């Protein structure tokens, strides 16, 4: 699977309306919400968007005629066979109506050009694991999670110590397990739950 290596931006002036497209890699619902909030302009006429994460997808026309903005943006993502990607296209109305066909071309075209400017990379498969450690190891555990780019999904403290459910790139699982064992003299364990790619629920920006 492919995704973006880094955010991308594209701007165009179409019949006096200004369009700015922003694209970025996203893994979770929190990522989509954070990205939308970081690039959307509350003062613009429309902030339309689409995302595709783990074969789930969603789009929003933000007041444009139905199917004229969000769906063309999503089509640009799907046409490039990308996963874990969100695109937001912001429009400042310039006084000339484009019609549904013109809007489809404008939003879809800006999204496509924004994605074409981006560097593409492979989206690594992810796994979920349960991590168990003594309370005294909590600081070391958190440092290692950051070092190996692991995402903490759940955390609780029980009678036997700290227990977490984490998500990380599959290629990092063995290295993290080894680092945990070294740091804890074998007292911390990492057990794989199941193979899992990045998932996301529907964001509700706008």
Q: What is the pLDDT of residues 80-126, one digit of tens each?
A: 999 999 999 999 999 999 999 999 999 999 999 999 999 998 777 77
Label residue 178 exposed, middle or buried (CB < 10 Å: 0-12, 13-18, 19+). exposed
What does the pLDDT look like over 145-195, one tens digit per residue? 988 888 888 888 877 788 989 888 888 888 999 999 888 888 888 888 855
Mean pLDDT calculated for residue range 121-138: 85
Q: Which domains does the chain have, with CATH numbers?
A: 2-122 (3.30.230.30), 126-196 (3.30.70.240)
d(CA 120, CA 1): 10
């Amino acid at each position: 699977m492919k995704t973006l290596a880094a955010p991308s931006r594209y701007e165009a002036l179409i019949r006096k309306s200004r369009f700015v497209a922003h694209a970025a890699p996203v893994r979770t619902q929190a990522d989509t919400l954070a990205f939308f909030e970081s690039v959307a302009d509350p003062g613009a006429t429309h902030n339309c968007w689409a995302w595709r994460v783990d074969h789930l997808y969603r789009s929003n026309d933000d007041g444009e005629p139905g199917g004229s903005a969000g769906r063309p943006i999503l089509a640009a993502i799907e046409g490039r066979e990308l996963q874990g990607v969100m695109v937001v296209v912001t429009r400042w109305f310039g006084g000339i109506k484009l019609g549904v066909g013109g809007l489809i071309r404008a939003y879809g075209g800006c999204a496509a050009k924004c994605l074409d400017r981006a560097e593409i990379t492979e989206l690594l498969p992810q796994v979920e694991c349960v991590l168990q450690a003594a309370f005294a190891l909590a600081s070391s555990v958190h440092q290692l999670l950051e070092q190996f780019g692991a995402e903490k999904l759940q955390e609780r403290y029980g009678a036997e110590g700290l227990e977490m459910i984490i998500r990380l790139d599959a290629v990092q699982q063995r290295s993290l397990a080894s680092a945990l064992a070294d740091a804890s003299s074998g007292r911390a364990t990492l057990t794989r739950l199941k193979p899992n790619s990045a998932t996301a629920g529907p964001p509700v920006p706008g």
